[in-house]
Amino acid sequence: MATNRVKIGGAFELIDHHGQHVTDRTYRGRHMMIFFGFTHCRKVCPETLGKMSDVLDRIGSRAEAFAPLYITVDPERDDPPRMKEFLETNFPRFTGLTGSKEQIEAVRSAYKVFAQRAADEDDPEGYAVPHSALVYITDRSGQYLTHFNDGAPTEKVVRALQAVWES
């Protein structure tokens, strides 16, 4: 039987914002909530991380079933200390993940994430990394279940995560 389904997600090996080596298996037993972005992002990333933090607050104790992960698309600037400072200050529910350019490219490719460095005269280092803005949800074994774009209404995401938790 033929299928038109595209495989999304897969194994990864990265470093968390505490400097610990982690893999997708580290989060087995919990649903991964994955967002790709970068710490120098001025709009989409902070807004999406804020919305997902709000969603987790709204689902109460059910949030413990989810592992909120923020995977960088800018490994040159987003080392573990930078990720830690950014997340602990602003979005403490999230674990930041980084790695080598090759490791980040591999996980981006697995999740079909577009990201490309571009000149940005407003950035002190002269560049930004425009990227797709999707939040991916996996089952407890790490298999892709669904995703939301950054503009998805908060209540829709809350209902969907409650349904995932109940499944």
pLDDT at residue number 54? 97
pLDDT at residue number 166? 85
pLDDT at residue number 3? 47
This prediction's pTM: 0.94
- Which helix H or strand E contains 56, and what residues bound it? helix 44-58
- CATH class for the domain made up of 13-166: alpha beta
| Domain locations in the chain as residue ranges | 13-166
What residue numbers does the annotated binding site cover?
Answer: 41, 45, 131
Q: How far is CA 51 from CA 93, 126, 136, 145, 146, in A?
A: 12, 28, 14, 20, 17
pLDDT at residue number 76? 96
Tokens 């909120």 identify what position? 68
What residue numbers does the annotated binding site for Cu cation cover?
Answer: 41, 45, 131
Report how far residue 159's alpha carbon sits from residue 24's, in angstroms, rounded to the nearest whole number: 25
Per-position pLDDT tens, the chain of length 167: 444 567 999 999 999 999 999 999 999 999 999 999 999 998 999 999 999 999 999 999 999 999 999 999 999 999 999 999 999 999 999 999 999 999 999 999 999 999 999 999 888 888 999 899 999 999 999 999 999 999 999 999 999 999 988 87
121 φ/ψ angles, rounded to the nearest 5 degrees: -70, -15
For 66, the 3-state DSSP assignment is: strand
